[in-house]
Amino acid sequence: MANPEHVKILEQGVQVWNKWREVNPEVTPDLIELGLRNGNLRGINLAKAKLSLADLLGTNLTGANLSGANLCRANLTEANLTGSYIYSGQTLLYQISEGQN
């Protein structure tokens, strides 16, 4: 389950979230099982975030930094990942190629 403090920061918007990430680079965001269908996370910094089992169906992740994020079993169906940076996403790539969510 996601860290409630991290969810509260995220709910304040991408700009607030990204500023928090800049000020707290040592914190690994815990957004496990986050429910955010059809959300707008354009340009968000989710590098190294724990997003396993997150429901991001239809979410706008255009230009997002997902480098090193744990997306194991995250639902990215119809999510917009245009221009997103995904590095070390072997699990995600495997799931996409196998047609899994």
Q: What is the pTM of this model?
A: 0.85
Burial letters 39-62, b for 16+ CB under 10 A, else e = bebbbbbbbbbbbbbbbbbebbbb
Q: How far apart are CA 7 and CA 19, in angstroms?
A: 15
pLDDT tens track for 61-80: 999 999 999 999 999 999 99
Name the pLDDT band for 86 (thresholds 50, 70, 90). confident
DSSP 88: S
Q: Which domains does the chain have, with CATH numbers?
A: 1-88 (2.160.20.80)
pLDDT for the residue numbered 92: 53
pLDDT for the residue numbered 96: 47
